[in-house]
Amino acid sequence: MNAPNPDMAAQGLNGARERLVVIGNGMAGCRAVEEILARDATRYAITIFGAEPRVNYNRIMLSPVLAGEKAFEDIIINTQEWYDANGITLVSGDAVVSIDRATCTVTSASGRVEAYDRLLIATGSEPFIIPVPGKDLEGVVAFRDLDDVDKMLAAADKGGDAVVIGGGLLGLEAAHGLSLRGMKVTVIHLMPTLMERQLDEAAGFLLKSELERRGQTILTGADTAEIIGEGGKVAGVRLKDGREIAASIVVMAVGIRPSTALAKSAGLTVERGIVVDDHMVTSDPAILSVGECVQHRGTCYGLVAPLWDMCRSLAEGATGGEAPYSGSVTSTKLKVSGIDLFSAGDFSGGEGCEDIVMRDAARGIYKRVVVKDNRLIGAVLYGDTADGSWYFDLLKREEDISDIREALIFGQAFAQGGGALADPNAAVAALSDDAEICGCNGVTKGKVVDTILGGACSLDMVRSQCKASASCGSCTGLVESLLALTLGDEVKSGPKTMCKCTSFSHDDVRRQIVEKELKAIPAVMQALTWKTPDGCASCRPALNYYLLCAWPGEYVDDQKSRFVNERMHANIQKDGTYSVVPRMWGGVTTPNELRAIADAADKYEARLVKVTGGQRIDLFGIKKEDLPAIWADLNAAGMVSGHAYGKSLRTVKTCVGSEWCRFGTQDSTGLGIKTEQMTWGSWMPHKFKIAVSGCPRNCAEATIKDFGVICVDSGYELHVGGNGGIHLRGTDLLCKVETESQALDMCAAFIQLYREQAWYLERTAPWIERVGLDYVKAQLLDDPEAVSRLAARFRYSQQFMQDDPWARRAAGEDAELHQHLAEFRPFPKPRLLENAQ
Amino acid sequence: MIGAPVTGEWIDIGPVTQISPGNARTLPVQGGEEIAIFHTMDNQFYALVNKCPHKHGPLSQGIVHGTVVTCPLHSWNISLKTGEAQGDDKGCVPTIPVRVDAGRIYLLREALVTARAPEKAA
Ligand code: SRM
Ligand SMILES: Cc1cc2nc3c(=O)[nH]c(=O)nc-3n(C[C@H](O)[C@H](O)[C@H](O)COP(=O)(O)OP(=O)(O)OC[C@H]3O[C@@H](n4cnc5c(N)ncnc54)[C@H](O)[C@@H]3O)c2cc1C
Ligand code: SF4
Ligand code: FES
C-alpha cells in the first residue's frame, strides 16, 4: 500500500505539524480531536470537514430541543471560539466527496482539496428509510440532525396529525416531542412490543400503556405498506392490513446504517461498518475511523458511551501511546420526561440464569435483574431507575454478588446497608412498628404483627383479618417476612396459589382482574406482582381464559398463551399430526355432510375415520399444513369446528326422543340441537359436555355430563356436575323446569356461573365438590332474577365467541402457524433454500 | 448441543419478523431432521431439532416461557439454550446455533445437516 508511514511523517517535515484531516464534525469526530489535543496540543494541524452548516453539538439532546425543553444554543458542545483557539480549520456545510489514498488528499463538494498525513473518518450513520412507495414525498423526515428537527417544528406549528414509523428509542423520543408540540401522534411499530431490543414484554407493555395514557396512539405489529401523498406532500400512511392513518408529517425512525460510502469507494475494508482494529486504525494505516460508522470486533454501536471509549484509544494511538479498545457493554435510557426506563446487558434468561423480579403495582414499578453464576448479567428497570447505574456498574465489573443477592432487587441503598440489612427479613425486623407495610389499606407493621400474634398463621389469614397485602399484593413479600419473623416454622402455607409465579390463588386473581379492570396478561402480571417476567405454561393459559371470560368482546385472545390444540384448533396426535372433528349438531348429520367428510378424508389422506364417543366423526392423521384447506372444504359443506380440542363446549349428545322413540316424552334431539347452537364456541375453565335424553332410560348418558337433561312427561329434569372420565361422578339434580326455553336459560346460567367462578382446568364435577351443590343452587335459584342475569351475560359473551375459528384460518388468518418457515435442501447444491412464503 | 461448532457457513432463513415472540416455526431439512426455530418473549432466537427427547413430540408446538418450551404431548420442559430436559426428566435434544444479523435469522449449516433426533426415552 502506498500510504505514507505515519511514524516517519510524525517526525514532521522541517518540524512542521502533521496534517490531520477529520471528516465529520459530529460527536465522535470532535471528541477524538479533543482527546488528541489533551494529550498533545501541538502535534497536528487540524482541519475538520462537516456536512452540517454549523459547529459541533450534542446530537442526543436534539430530543429535548424537539420537545421544547432546550434551545439549540444550549446543546452546542464546541463554539467557533474553540476551533479558533485550537487552530482548527472548520469547513462546515461542505461534505467530503472523495478520498484519494494515492495522493493523500480529500476533496469536498465545493471542490476544496485538502492534503493529510493522517485522516480520521467520523461520518456517523444515516437514518434507514424503508423502501415503500411515497418515501420521497415532502413531509417525510428522518430524525438525525438539526435540520430534521427544524422540519418537524415547522410541521408542528401547523398542528394536525403526525405519524412516527418505528417504536424504538429515537421514534418514541420524536413522538414525545411532537406530541408536546401539540400534534396528534400515532406510532407505527413492526414488532409486537415497543423497544423490543432493550425491553422485555413486561416493561414494553408498561411503556405502551403510559404513552397511550398520554394520548399517543401506539400500533404494534403494524407494517407500513405505503406513504400516501396529495399534491406531492404527505397525507397519510397505509398499513399492510389496509388501515390508513392521516398525517401531515411522517417521521421515519426505523434504524440507522453506518455511513460508509466514502470509505468504501476509497477501497478501505468495509463490512457492516468501516472495519477498525483496537486502535481505531482502518485497513489503511494512515486512516483512522471512529464513531457509529465503524465496526469493531464485529460490532457496530449506536450510542455515545462506546464512542467515548473509542476516542480515548484513538487519541492514545495517534499520540504515540497505546490503550487498545476492547469493546463496550451498553445501557439504554429513554429521554421522555416522566418515563423512567433503563436497560442493560442480557436479560434473555435461561439455563443457569435466575430472574429476580420485583413489581410495585401501586407505584408503577417493574424491576428485573438477571443473575448467572453469581454475577449480574442484565437488568430492565421501569418506573424507578435510580439504581440503574449501580446495576450497570456491577454488570460491567462482573462483580460477585453472592453476598447481596437476597437484597439485590431492592437496590443499592438496601443491599449495601451492610451485613444484617442485606437480609430482607432483618431489614423488615429493623422497621419501626409505625412503618406502613400495606399502602393500599394503610396497615402498619405493628398491626400486622398483632394480627399474626392473634392467631393468623398464614398469608391468607393475615389478608383476611387485617387486609394487609389483600389488594395489590405488592407488600406480600413484607408480610411473608413478618410471618417468618414472628412465627418461625409455624407459618402455614395458604390455599394453593395459582402457580409458582404468584402468591395469589385462582380466586384472588379472578376477583382482582375484575376489580382492577385488568385487561391484558402483562397488566395482570404487573398489578399482581408476578414473580417471573412472563409467567409459565401453567399460568399463561389460565390468565388468558380469565381475561377472556371477564372482558368479552374487549380482550384480545393471546394465541401464544394457548395450549397447542387450542392454537391449532385441532387435536395433536402422538406423531405430531392432527385430528379433525367437525361439529355435528346434536349428533344429527345428513348425506351431504357425510359425503363432504368422506371426500375430505380421501383428499387429505386421513389414516383413520372413527365415530367418536361424542356422536360425531373424527378424521385422524391430518398434517398441520393441510388443516386450513380441509377446514375450507368442510366449511363449504356447512360444517364448523367441533372444538373437540378445547377447554370449551364439546358435544351435545342426544337420543332420538319423542319424534321416533316409542318411550320419548319430549323432542330431545331438537332440544339438544338448540342447546348446542346456543353454547358452541364458548370457552370454559375446562371442557364441557352436555346431553339430552328423551326419557329416564337415558340413552344419551345425560347423568354423567357437565349439564344433562332428562326429559319427562311434565317437563325437563336438569342435572349438573357429571363426569364419565377419570373419576366417575353421577350428576346432581339441579331443578326441574316446564318449558324448553326455561331449560335453555338454566343451561346458559349454569354455564356462566361455572365460567365465572371455577378455577382454570377444574371441571364441573370437582368444582361442585369444592363449592358444594347447595352453593350452586343458591346462586341460581334463590334470587328469581339470577338466572336471567347470568344467562344474559352468557349470551352477550357468545356474540363474540360464535365465530368459527376454522373459517378464519381457512381465510388465511395466522397462516404462519400452519406453514414451515422454509425448507432446507442441503443436497445436491449447498445453498439451495426455498422460502415457503 | 454443547461443544457444537459455531463457525462455518451460516444459512439465511429469512427475516426475524416471520416468527412472532412467544412462537416457533419449523424448517424441514431434506435428508435430515425438522428444525424448530423459537422466538422468545425477550426477542432471542433458538433452534432445536423438532423432537422432544421423551417421545418425539413436536416442540415447535409447545408453549414458550422464558427460555423454556413445554412439550405439547406430555409437558416436559426443554431448555431452548441447551436442549436439556429440565427438572427430574432426563434427555437432551440437539440445538442448532442461531445468529441474528441485521434483522435476519441465520442457522449454522453444518449443525443443520448433521443434527440427529435423540433416542426416545423408555
Ligand atoms: C375422540 C374421543 C374418543 C373416541 O374416539 O370416541 C376422545 C379422545 C380424546 N379424549 Fe376423551 N374422547 C372422546 C370422548 C370422551 C368421553 C365420552 C363422552 O364425551 O361422552 C369421555 C368421558 C366423559 C367425560 O368427559 O366426562 C372422555 C374423557 C376424557 C378425559 C377424562 C376427563 C375427565 O374429566 O376425567 C380426557 C382427559 C382430559 O380431558 O384431561 C380425555 C381426553 C381425550 C383426548 C383429547 C386426549 C388428549 O388430550 O389428547 C383424546 C384425543 C384423541 C385425539 O387425538 O383426537 N377424554 N372422552 C371422543 C371424542 C368425543 C368428541 O366427539 O368430541
Ligand atoms: C435524536 C437523537 C437522540 C439520541 N439519543 C441518544 C441517547 O440518549 N443516548 C445515546 O447514547 N445516544 C443517543 N443518540 C445517538 C448518538 O447521537 C450517536 O451515537 C452519536 O451522535 C454518534 O456520533 P458520530 O460522531 O459517530 O456521528 P454523528 O454525531 O452523526 O456525526 C457524524 C457527522 O458527520 C457528518 N458527515 C457525514 N458524512 C460526511 C462527509 N462526507 N463529509 C463531512 N461530514 C460528514 C454528519 O453530517 C454528522 O454531522 C441519539 C441520536 C439522535 C439522532
Ligand atoms: S381413552 Fe385414553 S387413549 Fe382413548 S382416546 Fe381417550 S385419552 Fe386417548
Ligand atoms: S414427547 Fe415431549 S413430553 Fe412426551
d(CA A384, CA A365): 6
Quote the mean pLDDT of chain A. 90
The pLDDT, as a whole number, for residue A440 is 66
Average pLDDT over residues A64-87: 93
Neighbours of A76 (CB within 10 A): 16
The pLDDT, as a whole number, for residue A479 is 85
The pLDDT, as a whole number, for residue A385 is 86
Q: In percent, how much of chain A has pLDDT > 90?
A: 70
The per-residue pLDDT for range A742-768, each reduced to its tens digit, is 999 999 999 999 999 999 999 999 999
The pLDDT, as a whole number, for residue A402 is 86
The pLDDT, as a whole number, for residue A424 is 61
Neighbours of A241 (CB within 10 A): 10
Average pLDDT over residues A46-50: 97
| Residue A347 clears pLDDT 80, i.e. is over it | no
Biggest CA–CA distance in chain A, Å, is 123
Q: C-alpha A582: how far from its chain's center?
A: 34
Per CATH, domain B10-114 is 1.20.1250.20: no
Pairing of strands A822-824, A617-622: unpaired
Respond yes or no on whether the N-terminal peptide bond of residue A828 is cis (omega within 30° of 0). yes
Give the residues surrounding ligand 1 with Cβ less than 6 Å away: A 571, 573, 579, 581, 610, 612-614, 616, 618, 644, 650-651, 687, 689, 704, 723-726, 763
The pLDDT, as a whole number, for residue A39 is 94
Write out the DSSP string of A299-321.
B---SHHHHHHHHHHHHHHHTT-
Average pLDDT over residues A609-625: 95
The pLDDT, as a whole number, for residue A471 is 64
d(CA A472, CA A60): 38
Place of cell 449454522: B108
The size of the A-B interface in CB pairs under 8 A is 145
Average pLDDT over residues A820-828: 74
- A387 pLDDT band, cuts 50/70/90, is confident
User: A244 C-alpha to center of ligand 1: Å?
Assistant: 46
d(CA A321, CA A53): 34
- A361 pLDDT band, cuts 50/70/90, is confident
Angle A241-A247-A251 (CA atoms, 0-180°, nearest 5)?
90
d(CA A556, CA A814): 14
CB contact at 8 A, B44 and A348: yes
CB contact at 8 A, A598 and A639: no
- A518 pLDDT band, cuts 50/70/90, is very high
Q: Is A579 helix (H, G, I), strand (E, B) or coil?
A: strand
**Chain A residue closest to B86 (CA)?**
A351
Neighbours of A224 (CB within 10 A): 22
Angle A22-A26-A29 (CA atoms, 0-180°, nearest 5)?
40
Write out the DSSP string of A73-115.
GGGBSS-HHHHHHTTPEEEET--EEEEETTTTEEEETT--EEE
Q: What is the layout of strands, in order, in the sheet containing A89-92?
A: A89-92, A44-50, A18-23, A118-121, A287-289
d(CA B20, CA A645): 23
The pLDDT, as a whole number, for residue A503 is 83
Q: Which three cell numbers stand for residue A600?
A: 375430505
The pLDDT, as a whole number, for residue A419 is 44
Q: Is B18 helix (H, G, I), strand (E, B) or coil?
A: helix
What are the backbone dihedrals phi and psi of residue A788, each rounded to the nearest 5 degrees, phi first?
A: -70, -35
Is the CB of A821 less than 8 angstroms away from the CB of B12?
no
The pLDDT, as a whole number, for residue A97 is 97
Write out the DSSP string of B41-64.
TTS-EEEEESS-TTT---GGGSEE
User: A341 C-alpha to center of ligand 2: Å?
Assistant: 22
Strand ranges (E), A338-440:
341-345, 353-360, 365-372, 375-382, 436-438
**A821 bridge partner residues:** none
d(CA A288, CA A297): 15
The per-residue pLDDT for range A206-224, each reduced to its tens digit, is 999 999 999 999 999 899 9
Facing residue for A827 by CB, picked from B13, B30, B61: B30
| Residue A628 clears pLDDT 90, i.e. is over it | yes
Residue type for position B9: E
d(CA A456, CA A464): 9
Is the CB of A535 less than 8 angstroms away from the CB of B21?
no
The per-residue pLDDT for range A94-110, each reduced to its tens digit, is 999 999 999 999 999 99
Is the CB of A816 less than 8 angstroms away from the CB of B19?
yes
The pLDDT, as a whole number, for residue A384 is 87
Say which range, A272-276, A329-333, A615-619, has the weakest mean pLDDT. Answer: A329-333
User: B56 C-alpha to center of ligand 4: Å?
Assistant: 6
Q: Does B98 touch chain A (CB under 8 A)?
A: no
The pLDDT, as a whole number, for residue A228 is 96
What are the backbone dihedrals phi and psi of residue A375, each rounded to the nearest 5 degrees, phi first?
A: -120, 150
Facing residue for A350 by CB, picked from B12, B30, B79: B79
Average pLDDT over residues A570-588: 94
Neighbours of A366 (CB within 10 A): 28
**A370 bridge partner residues:** A355, A378
If phi > 0 it is left, if psi is from -120 to 50 it is alpha, else beta; for residue A825 that is beta
The per-residue pLDDT for range B45-83, each reduced to its tens digit, is 999 999 999 999 999 999 999 899 999 988 899 999 999
DSSP state of A830: T
Facing residue for A827 by CB, picked from B31, B37, B44: B31
Q: Which residues contact A157 (CB under 8 A, 6 or more apart)?
A: none
Facing residue for A192 by CB, picked from B20, B67, B72: B20
The per-residue pLDDT for range B76-117, each reduced to its tens digit, is 999 999 999 998 889 999 999 999 887 889 999 989 888 898
**Alpha helices of A431-576 — where are they, by DSSP H?**
445-453, 459-466, 476-487, 506-515, 521-527, 539-550, 564-568
Q: Which three cell numbers stand for residue A433?
A: 412498628
The pLDDT, as a whole number, for residue A274 is 97
CB contact at 8 A, A251 and A165: yes
The pLDDT, as a whole number, for residue A807 is 93
Q: Which three cell numbers stand for residue A257?
A: 446504517
The pLDDT, as a whole number, for residue A334 is 85
The pLDDT, as a whole number, for residue A618 is 97
CB contact at 8 A, A120 and A32: yes
**Ligand 1 atom, smallest distance to A687 CA:** 39
Neighbours of A62 (CB within 10 A): 25
**Ligand 4: residue whose CA is nearest its atom 4:** B74
Is the CB of A563 less than 8 angstroms away from the CB of B67?
no
Q: Which three cell numbers stand for residue A677?
A: 347452537
Q: Which three cell numbers stand for residue A222?
A: 403494524
Average pLDDT over residues A350-355: 76
| Residue A474 clears pLDDT 80, i.e. is over it | no
Using alpha carbons only, how large is chain A's radius of gyration in Å?
34
Alpha-carbon dihedral angle through residues A6, A12, A13, A18, given to the nearest 10 degrees: 70
The pLDDT, as a whole number, for residue A472 is 60
User: B91 C-alpha to center of ligand 1: Å?
Assistant: 29
| Residue B5 clears pLDDT 70, i.e. is over it | no
Place of cell 347447595: A774
| Selected residue with higher pLDDT from A421 and A346 | A346
Q: C-alpha A783: how far from its chain's center?
A: 44
Q: Which three cell numbers stand for residue A716?
A: 325437563
Q: In percent, how much of chain A has pLDDT > 70?
A: 94
In chain B, what residues touch A563 (CB-CB under 8 Å)? 63, 72
Is the CB of B30 less than 8 angstroms away from the CB of A837?
no
The pLDDT, as a whole number, for residue A813 is 87
Q: What is the distance in angstroms between the Cα of A318 and the nearest Cα belonging to chain B?
A: 32
What are the domain boundaries of chain B?
10-114
The Cβ-side half-sphere exposure at A29, using a 13 Å CA radius, reads: 29
- A4 pLDDT band, cuts 50/70/90, is very low
Q: Which residues contact A777 (CB under 8 A, 6 or more apart)?
A: A734, A735
d(CA A483, CA A122): 61
Question: How far is the first Cα of chain B from the last one, in angstroms, to the nearest whole number?
Answer: 21
d(CA A226, CA A338): 33
What are the backbone dihedrals phi and psi of residue A332, each rounded to the nearest 5 degrees, phi first?
A: -125, 140
| Residue A829 clears pLDDT 60, i.e. is over it | no
| Residue A447 clears pLDDT 80, i.e. is over it | yes
